[in-house]
Amino acid sequence: MRASAFLYPWDVVGDPAAPARVADLGVQQVTLASAYHSTRALTPRHPRHRIVTAEHAAVLYEPGDRWQGRELRPYAAGAWAPGDAYGEAADALAAAGLDVHTWVVLAHNSRMGADHPGTSVVNAYGDRYPWAPCIAQPATRAYLVDLAAEAAVRPGARGTELESLGWYGLAHLHAHDKIAGVPLGEAGQYLMSLCFCADCRAGYAQQGLAPDELAAEVRRALEPVWRGDEPPGGWQAVEKLIGAETANATRAWREETARTLQEAAIAAVRAAAPDGFRVLLHADPVAYHCGANAGVDPEHVLSVADGVVVPCTGGAQALAPFNEHRTARTTLAANLTVVSGMGGNPATLAADAAHAATLGADELRLYHAGLASGADLAQVTKALAHLK
């Protein structure tokens, strides 16, 4: 199976040994971040640092002229990735014989939410989620489509992987997070992720819903959760909590909004890219799910993208719905965490990859070669040699 390792530019820039070390793992490709959210990252082998703090969401190259005069535009990175850090890292990795594909994070940007609060998802209680741009808003959609095209099609890149190309909701690894005290369950997460900004209110109205009444119904439905009742799960629970007709109307609005954004972003990437450029989405086969792995309709997304990257660390079952709708051009990449300290188990990588293959996976994504310990990487090398 073809394998690609995720990397940040700061894993490579300033470390001349990094490209050969990654190539020696046995991967054929690197998926290199070109636009990324804020993070604090370990760099356990870098000769100059051990911790990199990316203070805000940024592009990791110098943004182009298309952003001049626009209110919403990407932020340049600070000292953690100055100038064209992406390009410098990409050139070094390519010189080591690795294919380089871009890794582009889209609708996940706390800095934009802080500077432009009106762009954020607003829940039924009026609370804003600054990390989650509302993908229904025209200006935000235009920003995301242009960012996708620019950040994806970097010089020398052979393809891209688009992350967070859909709704982001309540679930978020926030600094000093304190929201786990009340388990929400899947239905509670959905209700707490419904947006009530002006554009979403108008969208609900188009579906025949009264937005104020919908918000009140969501708040009423969540009251048992706040009291500590067992959290409800699954879509049937959403229908039970707010009524099937209402639930499906909200879902229709949100899924159409996400689908059309995905279509527009992929079309923009293709228009900017050379022939043979491959476009994959980080995706979840449950269309109403939110987050970095955007909820999609498997049949639809495989009709517009070249494939998907699917989280498989907890099991590879999510590959099956995509495998049912694959075409001759489809790539199904199983994303496996290989960092022990982040819940991965590189010792089982060969077995996990083999199981993913039975469910349709034809490629692997390894998260994350820059974050993993030396012992983890040794296990990866052993596993990939076994898979050849």
Portion of the chain with pLDDT greater than 70, in percent: 98
Q: In this model, does residue 179 exceed pLDDT 90?
A: no
What is the spatial distance between Cα 323 and Cα 305, in angstroms, rounded to a whole number? 14
Q: In this model, does residue 171 exceed pLDDT 90?
A: no
Q: What is the chain's mean pLDDT, rounded? A: 96
Highest mean predicted confidence (pLDDT) among 221-225, 228-232, 250-254: 250-254
The string of pLDDT tens digits covering residues 354-378 is 999 999 999 999 999 999 999 999 9
Report pLDDT for 304.
97
Region 90-103: what's the mean pLDDT?
Answer: 98
Residue 120 pLDDT grade (very low, low, confident, very high; cuts 50, 70, 90): very high
Ordered by where they begin, the domains of the chain are: 2-176+254-387 (3.20.20.80)
Q: In this model, does residue 180 exceed pLDDT 80?
A: no
Of 193, 183, 195, give the one whose Cα is nearest residue 232: 183
Of 326, 368, 361, give the one whose Cα is nearest residue 346: 368
Q: In this model, does residue 178 exceed pLDDT 70?
A: no
Show Cβ contacts of residue 39 under 8 Å, excluding neighbours closer than 6 positions. 53, 54
Within 10 Å of residue 48's Cβ, how many Cβ atoms? Answer: 9
Report pLDDT for 175.
67
What is the spatial distance between Cα 310 and Cα 101, in angstroms, rounded to a whole number? 17
Look up residue 85 and give its two tokens. 């850090």
What is the spatial distance between Cα 82 and Cα 13, in angstroms, rounded to a whole number? 10
